[in-house]
Amino acid sequence: MAQEYIDVSSGSYFYYTGSNAPAGGIHKLLTFKSLYHLYYSAFNTGSGLIETTSSYYNYVESSISSSRTMINSSPLTIPGEIVLFSIPRKYFGTNIEPGTVIISSSAANTVITDDGEGNLMSGSEHVGDVIYSHGQLIITQLPYITYFTQNPTPGISFSGNTDIKTAVYNIKVSDYELNHTLNPTAQSGSSILHIDEFGQEVTSSHPSASKFVQPSGVYANNVTGSAFQPYITTVGLYNDSDQLIAVGKLAQPLPKPADTELTIQIKLDV
């Protein structure tokens, strides 16, 4: 979890040099400008309302814009100094779940939570903003900036949200289909063969022998009666080229009815 203290005051404001370009290649000013461009530029700093004529697109996380822009009658602005906690997407997925952010610091004796509308709050005080879809926690108010500058490793907790897409396939089996088993053990006179790595039949003691069942093609007496029906245990999904692309296992064997149609539903998470 990356935390960056950004100071863009004084004469170094327009230069990517000195303290704004520390060792490691992180440009503080570039980070600051990016945050401003993405999240703050389309707000009127005088009224705190969104400027609809702005050419910038801001990620307003609130369903009611006024509730975010006018917390405690304060417009959504960005000062010359901020503290940024940037959470990698692999930790929060699609977005941070609104209302689940907690930032705590025992040294600063403070707990900050989000209100579910994009505002970071300490009690009733608005101290920063959270961009749920980008994993950005931005502290914008003193003395909280000072708190986290002096104590840069607070406890941060949140809940993530990851979408799982599910494909559903309905496989219809008619009453006259799949009424006989292809299991070679259900055939009378099936024989056991031992085959080596070259496809040649060998004895069972051969070091590379693999055992195969050779079906006879003749059903055993116990599976030829009208009362016998096979059980379905596995379903294969094939593409248009008859290539097997997925295999589904049923939770328990399913008897195949001979007098009614059967529908098997396969759900595939992708």
Sheet holding 81-86, edge to edge: 2-7, 81-86, 136-139, 125-131, 119-122, 110-114, 102-105, 155-157
67-88 per-residue burial string, b: 16 or more CB within 10 A, e: under 16: ebbebeeeebebeebbbbbbbe
Nearest residue to 139 (alpha-carbon basis) of 1, 6, 2: 6
Please, what sign has the CA dihedral across residues 100, 119, 127, 42?
A: positive
Residue 188 corresponds to which amino acid?
Answer: S
What is the predicted pLDDT for the residue at 200? 85
- DSSP assignment of 84-134 equals EEE--HHHHBTEEPTT--EEEETTTTEEEEE-SSSEEEETTEEEEEEETTT
pLDDT the model gives residue 8? 47
| pLDDT at 58 (0 to 100) | 61
Which of 13-17, 32-36, 98-102 is the least confident region?
13-17
Answer yes or no: is pLDDT of 26 > 60: no
> 250 is written with which tokens?
């049923």
- In this structure, what token pair is assigned to residue 119? 């505002």
Q: Which helix (H) or strand (E) holds 266?
A: strand 262-269
Residues 87 and 66: their CA atoms lie apart, in Å, by 26
Domain boundaries, the chain: 2-161, 164-179+229-270
Sequence-ordered alpha helix ranges (H) in the chain: 28-35, 65-69, 89-92, 144-150
DSSP assigned state of 7:
E
Rounded CA separation 139/22 (Å): 21
Residue 249 reports pLDDT greater than 70: yes
- Over residues 187-215, the pLDDT tens digits come to 776 678 888 888 888 888 888 888 877 76
Residue 190 has what pLDDT? 67
Cβ(119)–Cβ(65) below 8 Å: no
Residue 156: band (very low, low, confident or very high) from pLDDT cuts 50, 70, 90: very high
Query: What per-residue confidence (pLDDT) applies to 128?
Result: 87
pLDDT exceeds 70 at position 132: yes
The 10s digit of each residue's pLDDT in 46-78 is 554 544 444 334 665 554 333 344 333 344 456
Q: Is 154 helix (H, G, I), strand (E, B) or coil?
A: coil
Q: What pLDDT, on a 0 to 100 scale, did the predictor assign at position 60?
A: 58
